[in-house]
Every structure is written in C-alpha cells, then in structure tokens.
Structure 1
Amino acid sequence: MIFTTKAEYGVRLLVELGRHAAEPQPTPTSLKAIAEAEGLPLAYLERIVALLKKAGLVESTRGAHGGYRLARPADDVRMDEVVLALEGAVAPMTCFVDDSEHGRVLCNHEADRGHGCATKLLWTRVQGGVVKALQGTTLADLVAFSDRHSPAPDAPAPVGDALPVA
C-alpha cells in the first residue's frame, strides 16, 4: 500500500511541530520555517495544514509571531487519525470502498455477486494490520525517534535505520 505525499509531508510537518512543542518555551512555528527545515514546498504544506487543522490536530495563531502548534500533546496524537485526516480510509486495494459511517472498508465486489471476492480475507487482514500499526504509533514516538537519529551537524546520514515494527 502506498500513501501519498500528503501523508508523508503531513507527518513530517507534525514531527517538526512536536519538536517545537518539547522546547522549554514553545511558540507557534511558521509553515515557512517547517518548509525550509524539511525541504518541503510551502504551498503544498498550506493545503496539508488546513486538513490537519480541520481534524483538530493543529491550531493556528495569527500575527507577526503567529504560526502553528499541536492542538494536543504529541503522545495523544495517533498516526491512524493523522492518516485518516490526510488520506481518508486505509484501503489496500482499489476494489475496497470507504464505508466511513461504520468505520470500515468494504469490498465492492459484494454488489456484483452478493459476496466478497476470494481475496477479501487477505486484503481485510492487510488493512487491519496497517491500521493496528498506525494506532500503535504516536507522534511522540516519531519525535523521539527522529531526535535519537538526528545526525550531528557534520556526521554522515545513517543507512538502513528503521522504526521497530510492533
């Protein structure tokens, strides 16, 4: 399953906000500062942050010293709600359809023959595994991981370093 750059950039944006929230005197962070720190396009971040704000994950402050900050503590922000806000329902195959009213993903082949296709069990398990991994990962986990793995200013970037799978 491939998530779009909306999810990637949105998570990176939130990690930057999480880093700033951990500072002794946290202040709102401008999107321009985040775009520069992460090497991301500012115009795209503006659209992404609007989705995160609508989902209640970030809040904004206007003015000369305005910007964005987390709406909740980083350990209270789970990645499943972030991905849902940015991508919609997690569906491993295009034949799965979003049934947001009931919070699940359905196989659209049920309408064809009255039952799901032979692979429905597999894709349902894949979807469940991805959702479980997202639910088990908080923004605080990602902030801590990025802080531990930030190279010294002149150090080479680590190779092959990954988050442990729960």
Structure 2
Amino acid sequence: MKISTKGRYGLTIMMELATKFGEGPTSLKSIAEKHQLSEHYLEQLVAPLRNAGLVKSIRGAYGGYILSKSPEDISSGDVIRVLEGPISPVDFTEEDDPAKRQLWIRIRDGIAQVLDSTTLHDLISYKDEGSQNDSYMFYI
C-alpha cells in the first residue's frame, strides 16, 4: 500500500490543527504557505475530513478549521481511511492461495494496528531520538 499525497497532506493539515488545538481556527492558507503546498489542493482534502466529522469549519474573517475532537482522540488511521479508503496492500479474493491470503491479511492488520495506535498527539509530540538537538555537547 502506498500512501498518496492525499493521505500525506491530509495528515499535514491534521497535525497543524492539532498543534493549534484550543487556540482557535487555523486557515488553510497559513498551512499551505508554511508547508509550500497548494491551498486549492488542501481545500479539496479538508472537505472529506469535515464530512467525516474530524474537523469543523469556522466562517468569517478570522475563520478557518479546528479539530472536532482532541488530538488524542483522532488516529492517523482515521485520517488515512477518510482520504485513501480501506487499508489493504492488495485486493485479494477467496480464489487466492490461502497462504498468500493469510500474508495479505497479516500485512493489512499490521498496517492498521500502527495507524490506529498512532494519534495526532503522538505525531505532534514525536521527538527523533537520533536528532542532534538531543545529543550531548562537549567542549574542549
């Protein structure tokens, strides 16, 4: 399964909204500018997220979008399923070899488990253990 720009940019939108959770609406224009993305494309992505009840739109001069639930209550799987559809590495049928079918099911379930157990809060709180920002500084 390859996640398209719909899923990746959708997660970007949702992570930005999660970062600003409780601070009021965030405009798609600001997200588009920050990440150098097309505002028009983001508008196409936010509509299904709104229809699925993951975000709410706020009208007006200082309007934009907010999460409909806290970042801890929205998983990356929620976002990916809305934008990409069902999670499955391949379309398998009953005619497939049972061993192969079992493999595809295990892969699908593994991907779903990771996506469903990773919340927006986890994504915005992630700290790269190998990053230079956390390493010790030695002076000579």
Match of 2:124 in 1: 143
Match of 2:6 in 1: 6
- Structure 2 portions without partners, runs of 5+: 133-140
Match of 1:51 in 2: 48
Please report how far the alpha carbon of residue 119 of structure 1 lies from its aligned counterpart in structure 2 after TM superposition.
Answer: 1.1
1:66-105 paired onto structure 2 within 5 Å:
66-93=63-90, 96=91
Q: Distance in 1 between matches of 2:52 and 2:31?
A: 20
Please report how far the alpha carbon of residue 127 of structure 1 lies from its aligned counterpart in structure 2 after TM superposition.
Answer: 0.4
Q: Percent identity?
A: 40
Please report how far the alpha carbon of residue 116 of structure 1 lies from its aligned counterpart in structure 2 after TM superposition.
Answer: 2.9
Q: Distance in 2 between matches of 1:43 and 1:77?
A: 24
Q: Which amino acid aligns with 1:2?
A: K
Q: Distance in 2 between matches of 1:69 and 1:39?
A: 20
SS in 1 for 2:65: strand
SS in 2 for 1:21: coil
Match of 2:36 in 1: 39
- Structure 1 portions without partners, runs of 5+: 97-106, 150-157, 160-166
SS in 1 for 2:66: strand
Q: Distance in 2 between matches of 1:31 and 1:77?
A: 19
Match of 1:63 in 2: 60
Q: Distance in 2 between matches of 1:40 and 1:91?
A: 27
Match of 1:28 among 25, 28, 32: 25
More helix by share: 2
Count of matched residue pairs: 129
TM-score relative to the length of structure 1: 0.73
Match of 1:101 in 2: none
Report runs of 4+ in structure 1 exceeding 2 Å deviation. Answer: 115-118
Q: Distance in 1 between matches of 2:102 and 2:42?
A: 37
CA RMSD of aligned residues (A): 1.5
SS in 2 for 1:116: coil
